[in-house]
Amino acid sequence: MKNEYEIYVPTVDKQGKNLDEGKISALKKSLVDRFGGMTDTRHKNEGFWKVGGTVVRDEIVIWRVISDEGEAGDKFLRETQKALEKALDQDKILIIKKSIDFL
């Protein structure tokens, strides 16, 4: 069984300024090193989140990786999630896990 992980990564900080590409590149490299590849979806995606009484707008990219590592892959992605949240000063980075089969 393989899993696909979608990692929703903001491209701008809370003030609307572009994030440090060096930090983003290092995190992408760690995904390639671990899983052997990744897909970076660079078309413009916008997210809208309600925080209290305010709607916040994000610009994001979606990174995708495929893994057959089971719990070890989950653990690595949870650690990556925490590292992204810290490095990019985000309250939460969304990661979605899906079970997949290939045709």
CATH number, position 44: 3.30.70.120
Instruction: State both tokens at 87.
Output: 């490095």
Query: What span, in angstroms and rounded, lies between the C-alpha atoms of 19 and 5?
Result: 22
0.75 exceeded by pTM: yes
What pLDDT is attached to residue 57?
63
Instruction: Summarize pLDDT for 35-90 with one digit per residue, the tens.
Output: 999 998 876 666 666 667 666 666 788 899 999 999 999 999 999 899 888 888 88
Query: What span, in angstroms and rounded, lies between the C-alpha atoms of 59 and 57?
Result: 7
Question: Considering its fold, how many domains does the chain have in total?
Answer: 1
Q: Which residue range(s) make up the domain with 24?
A: 2-100
Residue 77 burial by CB count (10 A; 0-12/13-18/19+): exposed, middle or buried?
buried
Whether 65 and 35 have beta carbons less than 8 Å apart is answered as yes
Query: What span, in angstroms and rounded, lies between the C-alpha atoms of 78 and 7?
Result: 11
